[in-house]
Amino acid sequence: MRIAVDAMGSDYAPKEIVLGAVAAAKEYQCDIILVGDQEQILPVLDTYSNWRELGISVQQASEVIEMHEHPGVSVRKKKDASVVVATRLVKEGICDAVVSAGSTGAAVAAALFGLGRIKGIERPAIATHIPNLTGTTIMLDSGANVDSKPKNLVQSAIMGSIYAEYVLGMNRPRVGLLNIGEEDSKGNEQVLTTFPLLKQLKTIHFIGNVEGRDTFNGTVDIVVCDGFVGNVVLKTGEGLVSFLTTLIKNTIKNSGWLAKLAAFLLLPSIKKLKKKLDYDEYGGAPLLGVNGGFIICHGSSKAKAIKNAIRVACEFSEQKVVEHISENIVKEGVGANE
């Protein structure tokens, strides 16, 4: 396997990206091409004398797409942007998958323009890992699209199932439709139309409607939802966690020395807790439905997240997720023109 890693565009690029790539090259059986500004990448790489022997190489790309730029426009205009060049390496068969922690919009646009969609897939979907009491829940679409149509949700259910089965090793992953109640009759037009379509599928294990709380209690493996809804839910969740953290810190700060001592004594437990909540373990979110592996990482990813994302990218390619998606879309008869 050979993975193209976009070394630019994120909060800690290129340093943390390079460190993550080196760690992955050491640990996993894969070659890595770091794509970006050589002048910034090489000084970090050169702190490792043996980086070439680890199977790492560098592909120059002179441009970067910044977070605030319009994804579609910038991907078309900046032909030498790191994410565009990384994607091209997959398109040309030089690499098997891309890992990028740059702008999510740019990543989706680069993947769509550079790799195209799997035959039959109308729109790709981002599958995000959310920690739950027993492991992880996948939520998709979490923002590749807005105004998802029922057919998009159906295709997401199939794509998410394949990812969970082949990459995460889940057996018959449980698929739920995100709704405002568990009864079949609940919901807006979009989910009411989607529900019977999901029920008809033969290749997935559909368990019916689920509510927001189910995302965290381990009763569902794959939560299918509209891209707008998924994105709002994820960002609200992030906001809520950071709000609670600030609140706890402020409360302790305004308490007496006993509370401060207690908080200090709790640090090891808090560290254990943080590890449980650590998105980094999964590295990133696969963009499902495009013609190739494409793992999108959080803009603030550090080395560990990048390392894990590279592992996921390898497994994604080894397990032939794209081919399985293509097969099951045909098998279910839910392709774009069917």
Residues near a second copy (CB under 8 A) are 132-133, 143, 146-147, 178-180, 187-189, 211-217, 225, 228-229, 231-244, 246-248, 251-252, 255, 258-259, 261-266, 268-270, 272-273, 276-277
**Residue number, 82 or 104, with CB nearest to a second copy:** 104
List, in order, residues 6 or more apart from 294 with CB less than 8 Å away. 87, 90, 97, 98, 100, 107, 111, 115, 286, 287
**Residue number, 116 or 212, with CB nearest to a second copy:** 212
CA torsion sign, 133 to 124 to 175 to 228?
Answer: positive
**Residue number, 46 or 264, with CB nearest to a second copy:** 264
CB of 175 to a second copy, least distance (A): 17
**Residue number, 92 or 189, with CB nearest to a second copy:** 189
Whether residue 206 contacts residue 175, with contact meaning beta carbons closer than 8 Å, is answered with yes
CB of 204 to a second copy, least distance (A): 22
**Residue number, 233 or 295, with CB nearest to a second copy:** 233
Q: Report the distance separating Cα 71 and Cα 4, nearest Å.
A: 20
CB of 209 to a second copy, least distance (A): 11
**Residue number, 118 or 198, with CB nearest to a second copy:** 198
Give DSSP secondary structure letters for 22-59.
HHHHHHSS-EEEEEE-HHHHHHHHTTSTTTTTTTEEEE
CB of 146 to a second copy, least distance (A): 4
Q: Report the distance separating Cα 170 and Cα 174, nearest Å.
A: 9
**How many residues does the structure list for the chain?**
338
List, in order, residues 6 or more apart from 332 with CB less than 8 Å away. 154, 158, 201, 202, 203
Strands 205-210, 97-100: pairing kind = unpaired
CB of 144 to a second copy, least distance (A): 11
Question: Which amino acid, 128?
Answer: T
CB of 248 to a second copy, least distance (A): 6
DSSP three-state, residue 268:
helix
Estimate to the nearest angstrom the gap between the alpha carbon of 295 and the chain centroid. Answer: 6
CB of 15 to a second copy, least distance (A): 26
Estimate to the nearest angstrom the gap between the alpha carbon of 86 and the chain centroid. Answer: 17
**Residue number, 165 or 214, with CB nearest to a second copy:** 214
